[in-house]
Amino acid sequence: MPAPQCATCHKARAALRRPRSGRALCGACFCAAFEAEVLHTVVAGRLLPSGAVVAVGASGGKDSTVLAHVLQVLAPRLGISLRLVAVDEGIGGYRDAALAAVRRQAARWELPLTVVAYADLFGGWTMDAVARSTAGSGRSRACCTFCGVLRRRALEEGARLVGATHIVTGHNADDMAETVLMNFLRGDAARLARGGGLGSPGEGGALPRCRPLQLASQKEVVLYAHFRRLDYFSEECVYAPEAFRGHARHLLKLLEAARPSAVLDLVHSAERLALAPAARPPAPGACSRCGALASRALCQACALLDGLNRGRPRLAIGKGRRGLDEAGPPRDGEPERAPAPDAVPAF
């Protein structure tokens, strides 16, 4: 049976079928459609106004590579300028190779690249050091908890260094779906209440963040990278196998096999979750140490680092947060109690 013709241009031979709709398209038309959809997401959500300096969180992986490429293509139309910011978490054997890929990309696209390292920002704590510190207690190492919080802080710092007005990350629809599943399974009502939108508008001095690839499924991202012959780094993080997200990812793969639209359905559900006001996180204030956005007296990054420095890495993880300079565990819904004056070691 001869290959079908492209359904859009009717000239070239179809090279792929779009996972979502099953339409047969040639490579060029698919890439054009993908770019058009990203453009629509950005324009309809008013995510990146004209004149914005956009810091792209580049990890060397497929999502951030595709994001950077698409934004570069769309930059003239949107009137934005791009800067690449890469974060070096200090994971030996993994991050070095990824950073090499980022440097190659920056050279290829001629975009300015800034690398921020955990070791510089956070007083010598690399992820490997964190993993060593939290290991051996019989419980999981919770590396992703530390890495996620610290990376967002590092991205923010890097973005400020390059004078950016917006931060974009390459999260795709599969990531959003996994996040919703994970948050439900762990009972994280605060994150459920906060998430689901197209990013945060940047309250209290934090830079606005968004995820232009949010509605593109992972398969389409990979297809796009294939057709545009993009060079990216495709291994998974050394600490990934022990993460809880792995369960959510496994479940998502099963769901997708049973019903192809499961990813979109989950994103749709996530946007429409209605949580009780008591479950929502309290209005954000400023961290008492670093001044960043925080919903408690200490922002999560400072709290985590505090725990690490005191030799009790799990201090800020979970609902406890006892022992920090706060009076007792603050629970959602209860009024914030003023922190008791403790002798806090100078940081």
Partner 1 sequence: MVWQVLEGLSRESAKRLRFVPGIVCIDEGAACGLSPEARAKALAEMKLILQTVGFPWHVVALEEVFDLPPSVLRCFAQEPVGTEGAYKAAVDSFLQQQHVLGAEGAGDSPSLAQGEEQLSWPCTQDPQNPQSPDRPPTAAQTEALSRLFDSVKTLTAKEELLQALRTHLILHVARTHGYSKVMTGDSCTRLAIKLMTSLALGRGAFLAWDTGFSDERHGDVVVVRPMREHTLKEVAFYNHLFAVPSVFTPALDTKAPEKASIHRLMEAFMLRLQDQFPSTVSTVYRTSEKLVKAPRDGCAAGPPGPRCLLCMCALDIDTADSATAFGAQTPLHLSQTQPPTPPPTAPCCSAGMGRVQGCCGGARPCEREDPRARVIEQLCYGCRVNMKDLPSLDPLPPYILAEARLRSQRACIEQQIQEYLVEDSDDEAQTGES
Interface residues with partner 1 (CB under 8 A) are 7-8, 20-23, 29, 32-33, 36-37, 39-41, 43-45, 180-181, 184-187, 189, 192, 197-198, 214-215, 247, 251, 254-255, 257-259, 261-262, 264-279
Span between the terminal Cα atoms of the chain, in Å: 70
Distance from CA of residue 91 to its chain's centroid? Answer: 18
Residues sharing a CB contact under 8 Å with residue 310, sequence separation 6 or more, in sequence order: 345
From the CB of 93, what's the least distance to partner 1, in Å? 28
Residue 127 near residue 89 (C-beta atoms within 8 A) = yes
From the CB of 176, what's the least distance to partner 1, in Å? 10
From the CB of 141, what's the least distance to partner 1, in Å? 16
Closer CB to partner 1, residue 188 or residue 325?
188
Two tokens, residue 207: 């830079």
Q: What is the Cα–Cα distance from 137 to 179, expressed in whole angstroms?
A: 27
From the CB of 267, what's the least distance to partner 1, in Å? 7
Q: Tell me how many degrees the CA angle 81-60-306 measures, rounded to the nearest 5.
A: 95
Residue 340 near residue 326 (C-beta atoms within 8 A) = yes
Closer CB to partner 1, residue 240 or residue 273?
273
Closer CB to partner 1, residue 112 or residue 197?
197
From the CB of 201, what's the least distance to partner 1, in Å? 14
Closer CB to partner 1, residue 38 or residue 106?
38
From the CB of 15, what's the least distance to partner 1, in Å? 16
From the CB of 340, what's the least distance to partner 1, in Å? 29
Q: What is the Cα–Cα distance from 44 to 132, expressed in whole angstroms?
A: 45
Residues sharing a CB contact under 8 Å with residue 338, sequence separation 6 or more, in sequence order: 327
From the CB of 244, what's the least distance to partner 1, in Å? 9
Distance from CA of residue 12 to its chain's centroid? Answer: 37
Closer CB to partner 1, residue 30 or residue 118?
30
Closer CB to partner 1, residue 39 or residue 75?
39
Query: What is the number of other CB atoms lying within 10 angstroms of the CB of residue 160?
Result: 13
Q: What is the Cα–Cα distance from 53 to 306, expressed in whole angstroms?
A: 33
Two tokens, residue 138: 């019989």
Q: What is the Cα–Cα distance from 20 to 236, expressed in whole angstroms?
A: 25
Closer CB to partner 1, residue 88 or residue 220?
220
Helix axes 127-134, 143-161, angle to 10 degrees: 150
Query: What is the number of other CB atoms lying within 10 angstroms of the CB of residue 3?
Result: 10
Closer CB to partner 1, residue 281 or residue 323?
281
Closer CB to partner 1, residue 63 or residue 306?
63
From the CB of 262, what's the least distance to partner 1, in Å? 6
Place of tokens 């079928």: 17
Residues sharing a CB contact under 8 Å with residue 266, sequence separation 6 or more, in sequence order: 176, 177, 180, 181, 252, 255
